[in-house]
């Protein structure tokens, strides 16, 4: 499965990927990685399942979790073959996507204007900076009061968290653009809107995408918290609910699923960034298309 994932966005296709793999097999790195992961799983297995040392045995071990995960007839009711596993994943993903999209649509323009216009920044940045230190979790009760139901407060929290990250990184991105590009655009006869489209936006893209990568992580972070505290579905809810009824195997399964899904979404954002900034990949000598 991971093979497919890597070859999918390898820049010069499958051949290139094979070549890279072949090269890397001659270094000790893949074997070390294997050994490291093996060692970790072994320790986990020995402590939790084999020797059952206190307090490790309280957490289900790897064999138990994987057996349950792959079981067609799971003991605790949730596995790869049950419907509610996918419902929870889908619900969480949908919330993250909505929150992330909203945050991007609001945060990127705000950041661009803050970086571009000193005056605009002077008036908006202080408010942002006053609200930003408040942890997203502290908004939970307020969000529940402001928006009723389950869905809107949770999406609001995920949006808020990524919004701050996106806006801030975009602003830093604009501020990082070398002054000479603005000057060059100016002396080539650009009007303000040309500068915005041709300098401000592309110049800040690297920072924007760094920001988006962080922002999707933050969206997951807040989503999980919100779902754990007040949710009806979703992976965070799945963790909390199985904890409440002592279905610890399901709980660990949900944690691992969360890690996997989170990793996939950030890989997607990274891939999108690399596609949109081909000029940069080429400049850095990371292979062409």
Interacting residues with another protein between 74 and 103 (CB under 8 A): none
Of positions 160, 224, 253, 269, contacts another protein by CB under 8 A = 224
257, 240, 258: which is closest to 69 by C-alpha? 257
- Classify burial at 11, counting beta carbons within 10 Å of its beta carbon; exposed 0-12, middle 13-18, buried 19 or more: middle
Q: Out of 5, 8, 36, 287, point to the residue binding another protein (CB under 8 A).
A: 36
Q: Which residues touch 243 (CB under 8 Å, ≥6 apart)?
A: 251
Under the binding rule (CB under 8 A), the answer on residue 119 touching another protein is yes
Chosen residue from 16, 135, 176, 245 binding another protein by CB under 8 A: 135
Is the Cβ of residue 275 or residue 282 nearer to another protein in the bound state?
Answer: 282
- Give the contacts of 6 (CB within 8 A, at least 6 positions apart): 17
Residue 7's contacts (CB-CB under 8 Å, 6 or more residues apart) are 13, 14, 17
Q: With respect to another protein, which residue has the nearer C-beta, 72 or 188?
A: 188
Token pair for residue 88? 């929870």
Instruction: Kindly state whether residue 157 participates in binding another protein, applying the rule CB under 8 A.
Output: no
User: Which residue carries 């323009």 as its tokens?
Assistant: 109
- Closer residue to another protein in complex, CB, 1/188: 188
> Minimum distance from CB of 129 to another protein (Å)?
9
Per CB under 8 A, which of residues 253..282 are in contact with another protein? 254-256, 258-260, 262-263, 266, 277-280, 282
């Amino acid at each position: 499965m991971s093979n497919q994932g890597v070859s999918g966005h390898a820049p010069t296709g499958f051949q290139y990927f094979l070549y890279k793999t072949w090269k890397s097999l001659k270094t000790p790195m893949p074997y070390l990685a294997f050994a490291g992961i093996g060692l970790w799983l072994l320790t986990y297995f020995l402590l939790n399942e084999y020797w059952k040392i206190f307090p490790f045995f309280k957490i289900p071990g790897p064999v138990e979790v994987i057996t349950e995960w792959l079981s067609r007839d799971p003991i605790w009711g949730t596995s790869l073959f049950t419907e509610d596993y996918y419902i929870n994943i889908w619900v969480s993903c949908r919330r993250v996507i909505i929150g992330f999209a909203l945050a991007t649509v609001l945060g990127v323009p705000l950041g661009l204007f803050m970086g571009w216009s000193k005056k605009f920044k002077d008036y908006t940045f202080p408010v942002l900076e006053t609200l930003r230190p408040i942890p997203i979790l502290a908004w939970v009760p307020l969000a529940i009061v402001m928006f009723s139901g389950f869905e809107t407060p949770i999406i609001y929290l995920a949006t808020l968290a990524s919004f701050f990250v996106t806006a801030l990184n975009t602003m830093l991105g604009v501020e990082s653009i070398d002054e000479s590009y603005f000057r060059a655009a100016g002396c080539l006869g650009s009007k303000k809107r040309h500068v915005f489209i041709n300098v401000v936006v592309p110049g800040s893209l690297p920072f924007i995408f760094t920001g988006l990568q962080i922002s999707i992580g933050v969206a997951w972070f807040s989503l999980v918290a919100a779902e754990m505290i007040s949710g009806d579905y979703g992976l965070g809810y799945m963790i909390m609910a199985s904890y409440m009824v002592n279905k610890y195997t399901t709980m660990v399964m949900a944690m691992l699923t969360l890690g996997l899904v989170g990793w996939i979404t950030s890989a997607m954002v990274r891939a999108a960034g690399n596609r949109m900034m081909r000029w940069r990949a080429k400049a850095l000598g990371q292979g062409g298309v």
